[in-house]
């Protein structure tokens, strides 16, 4: 079955894939940034999907800016506060 909002090049599809990947990575490796970015990617994917279905007006630039800032913040927090393996 073909569902228009989840075409391969849609932002919602990419964000769902990144969110699912972050969930899997968090369960396997407990990456701190994945605990923060997985919900961010999944929520942004839902927002874009709702926008693609014309159920919600979406400011694409604003959503991508939030995703970028959230991802950068998650990596900065991991770099600063997460435990690192001592070599």
What pLDDT, on a 0 to 100 scale, did the predictor assign at position 4?
A: 62
Which residues constitute the domain of residue 24? 9-81
Among 15, 3, 5, residue whose Cα is nearest residue 63: 15
Residue 2 in any domain: the answer is: no
* 3 falls within a domain: no
Q: Is 64 a domain residue? A: yes
Quick check: is 87 in a domain?
Answer: no
Question: pLDDT (tens digit, 9 = 90+) per residue, 1-31?
Answer: 455 656 656 888 899 999 999 999 999 998 8
Residue 1 included in any domain: no
SS3 content of the chain, % helix, strand, coil (to 5): 75, 0, 25
On whether the pTM is more than 0.95, the answer is: no
Whether residue 86 lies inside any domain: the answer is no
Residue where the block lists tokens 């940034």 = 33
Residue 26 lies in a domain: yes
pLDDT for residue 6: 60
Total number of domains constituting the chain: 1
């Amino acid at each position: 079955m073909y569902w228009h909002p989840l075409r391969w090049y849609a932002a919602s599809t990419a964000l769902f894939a990144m969110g699912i990947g972050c969930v899997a990575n968090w369960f396997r490796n407990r990456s701190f940034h994945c605990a923060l970015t997985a919900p961010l990617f999944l929520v942004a994917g839902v927002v874009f999907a709702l926008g693609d279905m014309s159920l919600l007006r979406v400011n694409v630039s604003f959503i991508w800016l939030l995703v970028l800032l959230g991802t950068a913040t998650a990596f900065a927090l991991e770099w600063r506060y997460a435990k690192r393996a001592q070599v």
